[in-house]
């Protein structure tokens, strides 16, 4: 997925299944603290990113305006302590021609770059700050020497600053950014007060997880899960869908279109009620709604949706920063003769099986045999539901986050639905590549997703074919309205 969208996933809803999976596989590979941390094979998603590590869309940048007195020295010390605390933020990467390696670097200095901004000529400090931030987001990391994290502080006055923290996607996912927010806030406050309020570091480090996954390769568990993805990919038709334009190549730099889809009031509660009634997760319901909308858009039965899952179902890695995300795939035939309720049940089972086999990325099967990649535009569903979501804060100041959207278009999917549950609110953004999906496609697919959820809730016994017809009629009626 793209750097502004990774993570994540419905783990909290799927923990019973995850627990059963880990229990059944516990004799195969145990997740324990590693003794040798000199070098390890990168994880599955890291290996995928290392195919083209210089892509600046892999820079996960968070930026914010800060009002109030900021202690620059305390902030720099807090950043150093943050990197000391989380080993993934000290990682470096090498390649010997046939094998990639991840290493742990030493404690880092010089993480914070500072700039004092003043008006120059016709350019205001705000414009200069925007320019500096734009350049900072697109500055490449030196992954061979590290660190894969950096910070920039632009000071406009003693009481006004712009702060940007950038982490390479190789070493962090969205869940990790939530941990970084919390830990940096605590470490900065401790530096100001001279106290120690932050809890002990994570029980299991990311390097331990990477060692665990490297050992996984030699197990029946790995073979079984990889075979699952191979079978799923083998069942996907090899023909491209003409309705969505040409098949999309990962790494394309086509400018994306962003569409904010506004759910009606109470839509999140509706999703959760339907999920409870069906005995599935909210994520499975959203996957079903997206696949219904895609089926109507493409006019084809078979739909394939890729989705990141963070694999944080183990309590010992919940507080660990790292790139834990794997990519799963849900391939479904949206047959017109079945009911919406039956389709939801079928996709819910697919989602569960995909997650149970999520220790191995679906992309691993593609990397081993590129010819199995479905010849259709790549569609993604990114469902972000973080526990204890926290905002950026620095003691003694007021922080206003800056909403950054990637505008370089460098991403994995031709179209991606980003659904976020955040403190009782819900947001949906459809990001699409305009060379593959003509302008307006994202709005149509997003509206279809909303209509599908409402239809499943109101008429679960409706046939899929009848839903398609009802949605076409509704679209035609909306298009006929004046203005």
CB contact at 8 A, 340 and 459 = yes
CB contact at 8 A, 64 and 400 = yes
Kindly state which CATH superfamily the domain 30-208 is placed in: Chloramphenicol acetyltransferase-like domain (3.30.559.10)
Token digits of residue 188: 């900065």
Q: Where in the chain is the domain with CATH 3.30.559.10?
A: 30-208
Region label for 126, one of left (φ > 0), alpha (ψ between -120 and 50) or beta (otherwise):
alpha
Does 24 score more than 90 pLDDT? no
CA-wise closest residue to 363 among 315, 409, 325, 416: 325
φ/ψ (deg, to 5) at 151: -135, 145
CA-wise closest residue to 446 among 426, 461, 462, 465: 426
Q: What is the mean pLDDT of the chain?
A: 86
Does 442 score more than 90 pLDDT? yes
- The residues that bridge with 430 in the sheet, in sequence order, are 259, 417
The pLDDT tens digits for 296-329 are 999 999 999 999 987 787 778 888 999 998 899 9
pLDDT at 123: 67
482 pLDDT tier (thresholds 50, 70, 90): low
Question: Could you tell me which CATH number the domain at 218-480 has?
Answer: 3.30.559.30
**Mean pLDDT of all residues in 182-188:** 95
Does 31 score more than 90 pLDDT? no
The pLDDT tens digits for 136-162 are 999 999 999 989 999 999 999 999 999
Q: Where in the chain is the domain with CATH 3.30.559.30?
A: 218-480
Query: Residue-wise over 137-148: b if at least 16 C-beta within 10 A, else e?
Result: beeebebeebbb
Does 423 score more than 80 pLDDT? no
**Cα distance between residue 232 and residue 354, in whole Å:** 10
Q: If you write DSSP's letter for every residue of 199-246 in order, what string do you get?
A: PPPPSS-HHHHHHHHHHHTTSHHHHHHHHHHHHHHHTS--SPPGGG-S
DSSP code, position 120? B
The verdict on pTM exceeding 0.75 is yes
**Mean pLDDT of all residues in 212-239:** 88
């Amino acid at each position: 997925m793209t750097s502004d969208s990774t993570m994540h996933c419905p783990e909290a809803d799927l923990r019973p299944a995850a627990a059963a999976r880990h229990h059944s596989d516990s004799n195969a590979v145990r997740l324990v603290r590693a003794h040798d941390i000199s070098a390890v094979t990168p994880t599955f998603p890291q290996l995928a990113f290392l195919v083209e590590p210089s892509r600046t869309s892999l820079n996960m940048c968070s930026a914010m305006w800060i009002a109030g007195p900021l202690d620059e020295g305390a902030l720099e010390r807090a950043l150093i302590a943050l990197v000391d605390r989380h080993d993934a933020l000290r990682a470096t990467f090498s390649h010997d021609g046939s094998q990639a390696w991840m290493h742990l670097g030493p404690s880092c200095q010089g993480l914070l770059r500072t700039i004092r901004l003043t008006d120059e000529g016709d350019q205001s400090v705000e414009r200069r700050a925007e320019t500096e931030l734009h350049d900072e987001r697109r500055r490449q990391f030196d992954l061979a020497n590290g660190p894969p994290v950096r910070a920039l502080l632009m000071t406009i006055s003693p009481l006004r600053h712009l702060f940007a923290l950038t982490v390479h996607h190789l070493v962090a996912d969205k869940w990790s950014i939530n941990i970084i927010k919390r830990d940096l806030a605590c470490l900065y406050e401790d530096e100001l007060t001279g106290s120690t309020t932050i809890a002990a570091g994570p029980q299991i480090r990311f390097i331990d997880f990477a060692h665990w996954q490297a050992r996984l390769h030699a197990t029946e568990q790995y073979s079984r899960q990889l075979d699952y993805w191979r079978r799923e990919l083998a069942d996907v038709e090899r023909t491209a869908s003409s309705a969505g334009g040409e098949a999309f190549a990962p790494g394309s730099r086509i400018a994306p279109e962003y569409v904010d889809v506004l759910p009606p009031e109470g839509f999140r509660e509706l999703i959760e009620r339907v999920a409870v009634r069906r005995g599935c997760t909210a994520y499975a319901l959203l996957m079903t709604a997206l696949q219904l909308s895609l089926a109507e858009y493409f006019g084809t039965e078979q739909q394939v949706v890729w989705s990141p899952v963070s694999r944080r179902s183990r309590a010992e890695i919940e507080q660990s920063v790292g790139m834990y995300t794997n990519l799963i795939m849900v391939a479904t035939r949206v047959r017109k003769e079945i009911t919406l309720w039956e389709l939801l049940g079928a996709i819910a089972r697919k989602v569960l099986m995909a997650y149970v086999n999520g220790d191995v990325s679906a992309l691993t099967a593609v990397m081993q045999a590129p010819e199995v990649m479905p010849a259709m535009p790549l569609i993604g569903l990114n469902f972000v539901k973080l526990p204890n979501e926290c905002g950026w804060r620095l003691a003694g100041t007021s922080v206003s986050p800056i909403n950054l959207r990637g505008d370089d278009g460098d991403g994995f999917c031709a179209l991606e639905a980003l659904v976020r549950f955040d403190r009782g609110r819900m947001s949906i953004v459809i990001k699409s590549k305009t060379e593959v999906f003509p302008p307006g496609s994202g709005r149509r697919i997003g509206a279809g997703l909303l209509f599908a959820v409402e239809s499943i809730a109101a008429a679960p016994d409706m046939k899929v074919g009848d839903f398609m017809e009802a949605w076409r009629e509704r679209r035609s009626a909306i298009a006929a309205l004046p203005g």
